Amino acid sequence: MAKLVEASDPKKDSFEREILLDDPAVYQAADLLTDGGIDTEAIRSNVAQMLNAFGEDPERDGLKRTPDRVARMYEELLAGYRTDPVALVNDALFEVEYDEMVIVRDIEFYSLCEHHMLPFLGRAHVAYMPRGRVIGLSKIP
């Protein structure tokens, strides 16, 4: 399980966060949605209503399956909220005997803008000092 440690650095006006994976979890249960999935039927219904509100006919050929496609899209985009990060990371930790900086570049990610509910994607770069363990980022989906 993970423990989030925040320590103030008096030389800097910042906080250092460290996750210790062998300690009890402190991330909030609300961060993880465990109710079994999203309400795809409600999404389908609301997308059809939105199409009507736009003046479109949700039954026309090009739009007939749009509510279903949108529901599947949100199911995929929000899947991470149902993935326990501690379980995911613990399966990808490896003991090492070196202390050189580990750098992983061009990690593709996608997410959802919480203000507009639109998807976006990007690339991230991660650098860290291993302190006896490395995380096998290639093992994480």
Backbone angles phi, psi at 135, to 5 degrees: -105, 125
Give the C-alpha separation, 62 to 42, whole Å: 21
pLDDT string in tens for the chain (141-residue length): 333 334 444 444 333 444 444 444 455 544 566 667 789 999 999 999 999 999 999 999 999 999 999 999 999 988 888 877 777 777 788 888 988 998 989 989 888 898 999 999 999 998 989 888 888 877 665
Q: With contact defined as beta carbons under 8 Å apart, do 43 and 74 qualify?
A: yes
Write out the H or E segment, with its range, that includes residue 121. Answer: strand 119-128
DSSP string, 3-14: EEEEEEETTTTE
- Domains of the chain (ranges; CATH) run 1-32 (no CATH), 33-82 (1.10.286.10), 94-141 (no CATH)
Q: pTM (2 decimals)?
A: 0.65
